Structure 1
Amino acid sequence: MEELYFRDCYLREFDAVVENVIDERYVMLDRTAFYPEAGGQPHDTGFLYCAGKAYPVTGVRRSDGRVYHEVGAGGLKEGDAVQGVIDWDRRYLLMRYHTACHILSAIIHSETGAKISGNQLSEDKTRVDFSLEEFDREQLKAYEAKVNDVIDRNIPVTIETMDREEAFRIPSVVKLKDAFPPEVLCIRVITIPGIDRQACGGTHVATTGEIPHIEVFKAENKGKNNRRVYFRFRE
């Protein structure tokens, strides 16, 4: 299966062929731009169109190296030619949140040395968990200001697919080496020059200037060495 979102995060429509359908609900295509839920980023939604009928895509997940599209109506069958259309407003919102999450995480790591222990994007906010014993709540506004400064600088965001050995020469990527099984030969790397460089399979904006200013509105303790930060976009 060709996963089109890896090479073009801005692709909104695509043509594909149905390869398999399970229980009339789970559709496998030969190629897709629908992002499956992974890495804290929710799945895409949208429609598959075939022979004048619209099939709502309500869920997308990956299993055994395949991407399954859960549709809200039966009728698709193997060999059908379909057009996929992404709910772009939702996807673009999540793209902006995802890149903003990278920026905030990089700044907090730079200031404190904390590593990310989890994250979850949504349409109205994002949370990030850090492995950190102490947390200076008063410093959060300073981190927020630094994120917004990066946004205002409109820095290009690049996406590269590197072979395994090349990617592991990057200090911030080699730290995650154990997370990549030996059969993973290529690694996708997201770079915000001077700010962050990380392995990531999610969708991102092309420049930081596309992101609205953020506000950090909540911080809480989630255990001895776990601190959680919530942020959202300003109106």
Structure 2
Amino acid sequence: MAVELYVENSFLKECQANIVSMDGRFVSFNQTIFYPGGGGQPCDKGLMQQEGQAYKVVNIRKENGEIVHELDRPLQSRSSPVIMKIDWPWRFRNMRYHTLLHVIAGYIYQHYKALATSSHIEKEYARIELAFPADVIETVPFEQLDQSLKNVLAQPHDVHTTIISRKEEEKKEGAIKTVINLLPQQLHKIRIVQIDNIDEQACGGTHVKNTKDIGDFSIIKIQNKGPKKKRIKVKLID
């Protein structure tokens, strides 16, 4: 199983890796900086270099516990190491969006006990679906949500990641316990992403180190997705 370097350091842009298996354009390595996607966050993009040749990373996926990198053509050598290089603007954009979605989920849960049911980062925006208690949804001032979130993020909040045991995390109350109960039982070690005073979630994706790195944003649409559900679409402003 490859060492997932992005789990410990989302800001690592380059590394060397050795080939573990190769089937044409599909390659697995002993370690990788490429996030394979998941939880609504797209997979990384980038390049690999080997013996003076550059190969585009077309797709990355996790398959039977292994991270498989699909390249634009087969590597020339099975024995030579590669240099992995992340498409940093793409990675950093997704890190900003992913952290912002956590902020929205945390804020909504703190104030209205609504749970995030899904989220996805699209090409031009990101969206999150939230399920509200029946007796609360009609009282939520959605027209003020954009400014309320910006008020929260006017002050910087550090983002921390830790790996803890499932038993330890199941003792917690609130939204995090609900999420943990949905994870596969065979998963004994869980990565927790915590945003100071805002959110705490089980998450395997990449994030910024501080909410100040999210930058400016705007809620572009709030849609009804049922009697107790809302979809919020948000766009980063560069």
TM-score class, shorter = over 0.9
CA deviations on 1:83-129 (whole Å, 9 max, x unpaired) are: 00000011001001101101111112223221111110134210001
- The 2-side partners of 1:206 and 1:111 are apart by 24
Most deviating of 177-186 and 153-162: 177-186
Unaligned runs of 5+ in 1: none
Which residue of the partner structure matches residue 156 of structure 1?
A: 158
Which residue of the partner structure matches residue 100 of structure 1?
A: 100
Percent same amino acid among aligned pairs? 28
Q: Following superposition, which runs of at least 4 residues in structure 1 exceed 6 angstroms of deviation?
A: none
AA in 2 matched with 1:5: Y
**Structure 1 residues 56 and 115: CA distance shift in structure 2, 3 A:** same
**Structure 1 residues 76 and 130: CA distance shift in structure 2, 3 A:** farther
Please report how far the alpha carbon of residue 58 of structure 1 lies from its aligned counterpart in structure 2 after TM superposition.
1.4
Which residue of the partner structure matches residue 67 of structure 2?
A: 67
CA deviations on 1:138-158 (whole Å, 9 max, x unpaired) are: 823422222222322111111
Superposition map of 1:24-103 within 5 A: 24-103=24-103
Tell me the C-alpha RMSD between the 2 structures. Answer: 1.9
SS in 2 for 1:152: coil
Q: Do the aligned residues in 1 keep the contact of 2:118 with 2:130 (CA within 8 Å)?
A: yes
- The 2-side partners of 1:123 and 1:182 are apart by 33
- The 1-side partners of 2:168 and 2:147 are apart by 34
Superposition map of 1:1-235 within 5 A: 1-22=2-23, 24-132=24-132, 135=137, 139-171=141-173, 172-235=175-238
**Structure 1 residues 85 and 165: CA distance shift in structure 2, 3 A:** same
Q: Do the aligned residues in 2 keep the contact of 1:104 with 1:143 (CA within 8 Å)?
A: no
Please report how far the alpha carbon of residue 209 of structure 1 lies from its aligned counterpart in structure 2 after TM superposition.
0.7
In the alignment of these two chains, the number of paired residues is: 234
Most deviating of 127-136 and 146-155: 127-136
Please report how far the alpha carbon of residue 20 of structure 1 lies from its aligned counterpart in structure 2 after TM superposition.
1.1
CA deviations on 1:39-72 (whole Å, 9 max, x unpaired) are: 0000000001100001100111111001111111
Unaligned runs of 5+ in 2: none
- The 1-side partners of 2:151 and 2:206 are apart by 22
